[in-house]
């Protein structure tokens, strides 16, 4: 018997390859809509960043706005609140962060934070608690006037969203 080379591709091999390619395209066609539906819808993307006018907030006043479906505290702090926050030694803090790290240079009077307790996501009550900041009545977390955790089960400071000042009275969050 003579030694035979590799078998020549035939019609059956072509049909296997063609069927596999059609199957792969079919799987991709079904999978794409399922994955795409996980993307955020247009209403969420529209809220990816917002601009907020600070001029209506008096010194010592806080407002709560909504950004990406989350409540955000915007506080116009008094000089006394700023001085009190800057005087706290880092050794007294559970999550050490200076007051300067929590505000923007030249805008220290403005404190902008996501209004969710870092323990279980409750919304703290403003201008209350043991440190003249925020108090989460659900589990007893106390935050100071810079939104830093000082007492209670919360592990971290209130979260700062990404923001920048467009002008002295206009801030862009997101």
Q: Which of 3, 76, 139, 142 is catalytic?
A: 139
Determine the 3-state secondary structure of 149 from DSSP: strand
Q: For the beta carbon of residue 56, count every other beta carbon within 10 angstroms.
A: 10
What span, in angstroms and rounded, lies between the C-alpha atoms of 77 and 126? Answer: 12
139 catalytic per annotation: yes
Token pair for residue 144?
Answer: 């100071």
φ, ψ dihedrals at 6, nearest 5° = -55, 145
Sheet holding 62-67, edge to edge: 62-67, 70-76, 110-114
Work out the number of other CB atoms within 10 angstroms of the CB of residue 142: 20
The token duo for 158 is 């209130």
Q: Which residues are catalytic?
A: 139
């Amino acid at each position: 018997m003579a030694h035979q080379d590799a078998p020549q591709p035939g019609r059956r091999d072509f049909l296997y390859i063609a069927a596999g390619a059609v199957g792969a395209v079919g799987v991709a066609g079904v999978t794409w809509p399922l994955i795409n539906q996980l993307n955020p819808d247009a209403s969420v993307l529209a809220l990816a960043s917002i601009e907020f006018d600070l001029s209506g907030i008096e010194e010592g006043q806080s407002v709560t706005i909504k950004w990406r479906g989350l409540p955000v505290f915007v506080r116009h702090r008094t000089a006394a609140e700023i001085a009190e926050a800057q005087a706290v030694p880092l050794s007294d803090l559970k999550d050490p962060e200076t007051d300067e790290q929590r505000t923007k240079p030249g805008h220290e009077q403005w404190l902008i934070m996501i209004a969710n307790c870092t323990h279980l996501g409750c919304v703290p009550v403003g201008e209350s608690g043991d440190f003249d900041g925020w108090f989460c009545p659900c589990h007893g977390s106390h935050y100071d006037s810079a939104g830093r955790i000082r007492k209670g089960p919360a592990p971290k400071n209130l979260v700062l969203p990404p923001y920048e000042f467009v002008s002295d009275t206009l801030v862009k969050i997101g």
